Amino acid sequence: MPDLTKEEVRAMGHAVGLEIEDPDLSEVTISLNALLESLDAINPPGLDSVEPLPIILPPR
């Protein structure tokens, strides 16, 4: 997965109502890219072919 750019991070923040100012934008971009890289490392092969289970089971 390619790293997110500062403009992509700014746009994602804006989409959820966060305005990330320039002094913080570099740090947020680096942190977010590091988080995504770490999550990718724990993604076991074949996980995308498993159907997710509901977190809350329906009443019986």
**Number of folded domains in the chain?**
1
The whole-model pTM stands at 0.68
Residue 39: name the closest of 31, 29, 49 by CA.
31
Q: Do the domain assignments include residue 54?
A: no
Q: How many CB atoms lie within 10 A of CB 14?
A: 11
What is the 8-class DSSP label of residue 49? Answer: G
Q: State residue 10's pLDDT score.
A: 96
Q: Do the domain assignments include residue 45?
A: no
Domain extent, residue 26, equals 1-35
Q: Do the domain assignments include residue 29?
A: yes
Tell me the per-residue pLDDT of 5-27, one tens digit each, with 9 for 90 and over: 999 999 999 999 999 999 999 99
Q: Do the domain assignments include residue 15?
A: yes
* SS3 assignment, position 39: helix
